[in-house]
Chain A
């Protein structure tokens, strides 16, 4: 039941939303594809003012802009409405932002199958074209309405913030226009680039400040955890320690004696305690004694399996699914004078999001409709999956997305929403249920980034020129766990595991990356940066060792390899920031580069290592190219965040499984970076044109490679196993 394997997208009936407040006003309904009349019809427009929409303009000049993506700290609920505001020329001070409800037809991301799914750093890239169109069309409608009122040609009018101005000097505010204008049956066709280019932006490219920040300094921000519904009961869930095990016996009678415990419910994947209070569910949870069925993952012990993975990687008989390739690797390798082989490993990682996983659902007494309040990265996925649980139409499931207290991929999974829906249905009578995972329960059934082993073969000609590069990754498929049908459709290509194993920016004529799938039984999901968190470690550590072999400076060596000018520019920039050539005493520098969705990034770490093998990162410099910098300071903030998240996974974080069960239980044994671990961080945002690109994960992949390369430069130790714990560093220094 928890493995909701099939997510298809039946047509959704667009729900109607009523805007309260000013009676006179304009609301524009626009689909992201620009099929305006269809959207207007679909919303069953009621009068002139009340339709489902991106933009609402009221007679008092206030403007509401819908944010279609989920805010989890990345600043998207500022950035996307800001694009609309820029192209409609709105006065940002009069704009308020509202999070869009689950409605994929109106608010879906065209770059992610048209669903509302805030993942993969694709929100800005996905919504860039449609939201510029929404803004430009809205502006044109306002111009046309004012021109008609004045009896002048629309071409004689332009706009100032929230105002249409005629060449004679007369003007009307957007609010004044909204008071008399009617939304047109069809939106005018506009070319956004004809309306505005970067040089005349008033909002984009400036630092407006994020709209959600004030609420996050005074306690008023509302997360899923804050949701309170009348008559609500609470639930805790003891999921099976090993994935896919089922409860076979439960000490229900004993747990039912605990004050406040209302029900003990066995689910296909765990046991839930329903109680009047959080405390009663916690007490009940602690008293639970469950026997579990056998499961395929019972024998998965990660510390021994990783050795198997390396053997499998080295075995020529292992069959891999090609992820990406260029040229002819077999021919390249056949013609190589020498072939060098490099091996690396990474372990399971836990998201460790701060807001405990939670969701609240109220299923109607007939079990055929539901309301859901959740901090979710995928509102329409939550809607569709819940409709499957209830065997009802998605239209009968309303999802109210809340602010997200940390996503990182964890809240892209709908499992916690399914819990709430299932339990509310089982409680019956329309009882709202709020499910809260304790930290221990969350980690014990964590949805990990898969453990991986890497083998990179590099073929070189007699002059040391790379003529073949083969990167093999061995590990479980995350998509096989989250969505087997999607994996089937892709022919086994798993982006969550393999991302970053491609190296198109290096001018290597023949390269390929493949994935040898494993089936071991861990619970898996996307994790910030997905595969690139470890694949770029493997490739950048390898490139550094090749530079060492060639007795060439690592920055110079990369500049010699890179075929992409934009990539070269960020590398040169970061080298300059770090004063790369300057010799340090007691510390050393290491460099790494990466690319995501066509955006380039380069990072340099400065490290020292103490006698216990503990790495200290003193400085981290990063230069990155977001194409167009829509919110420069937010790009810096996201990059600081990526560096810290990345360094934490590089140096500290690992989950180990023993006989299928997670061995860590909380932050004392799943350690993450704290204030004292943080290096001085300097970020240079250097947009080099094109389209704005995602920055929510861009800075993470270079971190591990940069640290490994710095430690090698300092000590000669070759770090090949993530994370670089003191024991491993010490062993590598001796090695």
Chain B
């Protein structure tokens, strides 16, 4: 699969001041894929992951970080990697399924 950034580190926007990333190259959800058709984005739609959706940009970027270094993560690896990102709607099971789908289909 092709990833927008083969090696990057996720920063949580809600905990990062703009000044913290001054001079750095920053990719947000809008830049993940030119037409919003990254394997993760397609998987997110296929699994109907988002509910309120507010956390989902962060969830997708966090998952992209995982797949950039681990193309076929186990379920446990997905759970551990994604554990930092809260989803209050509880879309967690679908997030795992979508990451698995993206890993498989991406």
Contact = CB atoms under 8 A, between A and B. Distances in A.
B88 interface: yes
Interface string A600-640: 00000000000000000000000000000000011001101
A643 interface: yes
A111 B3 CA distance: 49
Interface in B73-91: 79-80, 82-91
A637 B51 contact: yes
Contact of A645 (B56, B79, B90, B96): B90
Nearest to A676: B83
Contact of B88 (A74, A214, A215, A353): A353
Given A217-B56, A675-B82, A641 B89 contact: yes
A284 to B, nearest CB: 16
Interface stretch (A205-213, A340-348, A488-496): A205-213
Contacts of A218: 29-30, 32, 36, 41
B82 A404 contact: no
B52 A217 contact: no
Contacts of A676: 79-80, 83
A648 B45 CA distance: 26
Nearest to A642: B90
B94 interface: yes
Given A73-B53, A219-B57, A675-B82, A644 B92 contact: yes
Nearest to B95: A675
B19 to A, nearest CB: 9
Contact of A74 (B32, B51, B60, B83): B51
Nearest to B81: A675
A223 B56 CA distance: 13
Interface residues of A, number: 49
A216 B54 CA distance: 8
Given A210-B48, A355-B52, A644-B92, A217 B86 contact: no
A231 B36 CA distance: 31
A72 interface: yes
Contacts, number: 124
B72 interface: no
B51 A675 contact: no
A685 B86 CA distance: 27
B90 A355 contact: no
A732 interface: no
Interface in A56-72: 72
A678 B76 CA distance: 12
A73 B80 contact: no
B91 A641 contact: yes
Nearest to B76: A676
Contacts of B70: none
Contacts of A638: 51
B68 interface: no
A352 interface: yes
Contacts of A644: 90, 92
Interface in B22-77: 28-30, 32, 36, 41, 44-45, 48-57, 60
B17 interface: yes
Contacts of B60: 217
Closest 9 CB pairs of A and B: A644-B90, A405-B54, A73-B51, A216-B53, A73-B52, A218-B36, A216-B50, A219-B29, A354-B54
14 contacts: A216-B56, A218-B30, A218-B36, A218-B41, A352-B88, A354-B88, A403-B52, A633-B48, A637-B51, A641-B91, A642-B90, A643-B90, A673-B90, A675-B79
Interface of B: 17, 28-30, 32, 36, 41, 44-45, 48-57, 60, 79-80, 82-96
Interface of A: 72-75, 207, 209-210, 212-221, 223, 225, 279, 352-355, 403-408, 633-634, 637-638, 640-645, 648, 667, 672-676, 678, 681
Given A638-B51, A675-B95, 18 more contacts: A73-B50, A207-B48, A209-B45, A209-B48, A212-B50, A213-B44, A216-B50, A217-B56, A353-B52, A354-B89, A406-B52, A407-B52, A640-B90, A640-B91, A640-B94, A643-B90, A645-B90, A675-B80
